[in-house]
Structure formats: C-alpha cells, structure tokens
Amino acid sequence: MENRDKPAATERLWGARFKALPSDALKALSRSEPSFFRLVPYDLAGSRAHAGELKRAGILDADELQALLREIDAVESGFKSGAIQPVAADEDVHTFLERILTERLGALGGKLRAGRSRNDQAANDLRLYLRDRARVITGQALELQKALVAQAREHLGTIASGFTHLQPAQPVLFAQQLMAHAQAIDRNLGRLADWDRRAARSPLGAAALAGSAICRNPELSAAELGYDAACENSIDAVAARDHVAEFLFATCMLAVELSRLAEETVLWSSAQFRWVELDDGYCTGSSIMPQKKNPDIAELTRGKAGRLIGNLVTMLSAIKSLPLSYNRDLAEDKAASFDTIDTLALVLPAMAGMIATMKVNVERVRRDATSGFTLATEVADWLALNGIPFSEAHEITGALVKFCEAHDIGLEDVTAQHLADVDTRLKPAILERLSLEAAIAARTGYGGTAPERVAEQLERFDARIAAHTNWASEYRGPQC
C-alpha cells in the first residue's frame, strides 16, 4: 500500500493546495522520459536569461545574480560530466534543476522560479533545442550534398537512361540524376532555414499564459538567447506547437527524399542493374547465403522515413482541437522531435558515406542508356522541327519503334533504308540525332541535361552549399 498521507512539496514544483501525495501511477505517467533531460543545457541557458530579468525587477541584487550565474555554470558542467544526474523524484528537467540549485544555494535557488512557469520554460527549452538541432541537421545533410556533388562532377560525361514509371524514357547525364536528389535535399534545408525565421520568437515572459508581472522586458532575454524577438501574444507563446509540427514536416520531407535516393541506390546496386558498386564498409552480408552483399544502409534509411512520417502525424494529432492555452497533451512534442532528430543523426552520416564511396560502372550505365528505345523522342522532335505536326510525328516514330522491335534492332542501329521503309518523311538526316551524345547535347535549355547546363548547375550549387553553411555557422543561440 502506497503512503500518500503527507505531501512533500520539496520533490515537485506544485502541490501546496493538495492534501495527499500523487499516486505512483500518476508519477509514472507524469515523469519525463529519460531522453527529455537532454534539454538541461537549454533550460539552464533560459535560467541565465531569466536571472537577468529578476535582477532588472529588483528580486535579485547584483551579488545574488552573480552567485546564481556561477552555480548555473557549475551545474551545467556537472551535468555534462555526469557528476550531476536526475533522480526518480525529479518529475522533469525544471524540477531537477530547481532541486539542485536549492540544495546548493538554499533560498536563493528558490528565487529563480519567480515570474516564470514551466509552461514558458518548456516552450523555450524545446525552441532552443530545435533551433540548435536544425543547424546540426543542416551540417549533416551538407555532407551528403557534397558527396552527391563530387559524384556528379566525376560523371559529367556518363550517359544513363532516365526513367518514368520505372521504364526507360530518355538519355540523361548520370550527373543530372544525382543532382536531382541534391536539389530536392537543398529545398528541405531551405525549409529548415525558413522555419527558423518563424521559430525565432522567445516564449519567455509569457509565464503560465497571461504574461509575467515580474519579468516585463522579455525582449531583452529574447536577444540574450539569440531570438529575433519575443512572442507577441503570451497565450500563443505557451500554447503554440505549430513550430514543432513545421520542424517535423521539414525533417520528414528530408527523410522522404533520402528514402527516394535510397530506393534508387538499391536499384542501381542490384544484379539486374549493376550500375554502381557499394563499398564493403557500407554493406552487410547474409547469415546463410555467402555470396550476398546487401545495401542495408539504403534499406534502413528507406524504412526509417516511415518513422519520421509517424512523428509528424503524432504531433498534428496532439495539437488538433486543443483549447487554449497549455495542456499536457503538448508534452508529446518532445518525444516526436527527439526521435526524428536522433534518427536523422544516424541516417545522414551513413548515407553520405555510402554515396561518397560508391563506384559507378560507367560502361554498364552507358550500355543501358539506349535500352527501351530511349532515342525515340529525338525522332519525333526532328520531325516536328521539320514541319510535321507533332501528332503525326508521334505516330511515325511509333511505327519506327514497331519496325525496330520486329527486326530486333535498336534505334541507334537503323539505316537510311530502314527509315524509308517505314515512312518517306523519315529522312537520312535523322540519323545524326540517333546517338546518345546528340540527344544529350540537344537539351541546352536552363536546367536541361546538356553537359554545359549540368556543369553550370554544379557551379550554382556550390553557392547554395556555402549559403547553408553560413546560415548554420552564424547562429547566435545556445549550442549544446
């Protein structure tokens, strides 16, 4: 039988009006998961800023402020070294840190709670953490970007088959295929940077929901923590979690693109394709089939994308239909965010290494580039450029493909006589277009697969990598 007769207020930040202790079931459900204590450095950063607010409010004098700041630094150092750790009675990060500060500083440690609530503390801690992790994720993704760019530069002359519906469609540079993935990842990094612009608002000073009667200069603590400004509405400051959902969307989209790259890597490395050879250090084998070399990194990445999609759905479901302002449902923000961030921390370096070390079988890739009559569009385009309505050009080209199938030859093998046998409008000049080089060279429009266009794309992309690198490195908030 549990003893719930005597409250023990020192174990928690609430309970003065309660006549009994919380049940074991409540404590088990209410206590933060162990992973949540990763927010300790960010809570301490917020406490430093809050202590400055208490000094401005006259609650702390100069000596008390300095004593608090010294002890906050000592607690942070102790936590990072493992010398200070939460115990079972610590309900959450905030309870843990107030307990430590009060044990060390007595009544002075208890003064720090004035003018703030766990509501604005929790909102602030996660915002700071997400803004910091957005830069870390960007740095990890940039390593994958650099791997894709390096492979693309190496294969500016490698011609491959591009696909639609997973069927051979038209020749493209393999560099263009790689850069398609790089461009998609780049947009997701842009989404993170754009998200950060909206997330750069401090909730400190909102207290429980109505704002603080003590801390009346939240814009000062916001600036100290690297925010652009304070939140404009105190209720919204503690109730909003759309910034968490948006962060999870941006990272989810990144994971989905990683999954697409992973799927193509699985195909390219298969015995049926044999376009690439993956480095042994980034593959596994079979416990029963000695010959197997499995692209596990790509497969694990593909699978984990579903996990990140689930985290986004979890957060959207948690905030749906919640009344203002704060509700404990919002505690789901941390589990969803932490799992997403931890998953990407595993996936991104592995994918970067796999792409950086893979070897492309240039001869095999080129040999497959004409498979499936990928040069057919060249015929139709030539006819259209020579005055034949495209609807007719399409039919004529289809008849030529049918002829080739019947004679078991490719379009690159047809002769002037073959053309004449199919349709008199098929002139010998078409033969100059029926080569991989000619098909590639013809796509000279902006963004096309012509070698000079892809080379220009790579040069522009270097600037994008530099811009993301600068964005990450110029962050002024806590980095823990």
Catalytic residues: 165, 286
- Surface-to-core class of residue 74, CB atoms within 10 Å of its CB (0-12 exposed, 13-18 middle, 19+ buried): middle
How far is it, in rounded angstroms, from Cα 129 to Cα 42? 7
Residue whose token pair is 């009994």: 20
- What are the residue ranges of helices labelled H in 240-368? 242-268, 296-319, 332-357, 362-368
CA dist 446 → 164, 442, 454 (Å): 21, 12, 9
How far is it, in rounded angstroms, from Cα 104 to Cα 101? 5
Q: What is the 3-state secondary structure (H, E, C) of 139-164?
A: HHHHHHHHHHHHHHHHCCCCEEEEEE
Structure tokens at 182: 């790089």
How far is it, in rounded angstroms, from Cα 55 to Cα 49? 10
Q: Which residues contact 41 (CB under 8 A, 6 or more apart)?
A: 76, 79, 80, 478, 480
**Phi, psi values for residue 276, rounded to 5°:** -130, 155
Structure tokens at 109: 């440690």
256 CB-side CA count, 13 A: 12
CA dist 474 → 137, 146, 477, 478, 480 (Å): 15, 20, 9, 12, 15
| Contact indicator for 426, 148 with CB cutoff of 8 Å | no
| Contact indicator for 244, 316 with CB cutoff of 8 Å | no
| Contact indicator for 222, 212 with CB cutoff of 8 Å | no
Q: What is the 3-state secondary structure (H, E, C) of 256-284?
A: HHHHHHHHHHHHHCCCCCCCEECCHHHCE
Q: Strand 359-360 and strand 276-277: pairing?
A: antiparallel
How far is it, in rounded angstroms, from Cα 480 to Cα 473? 14
Dmax (CA) of the chain: 101
Q: How far apart are the first and last CA of the chain?
A: 43
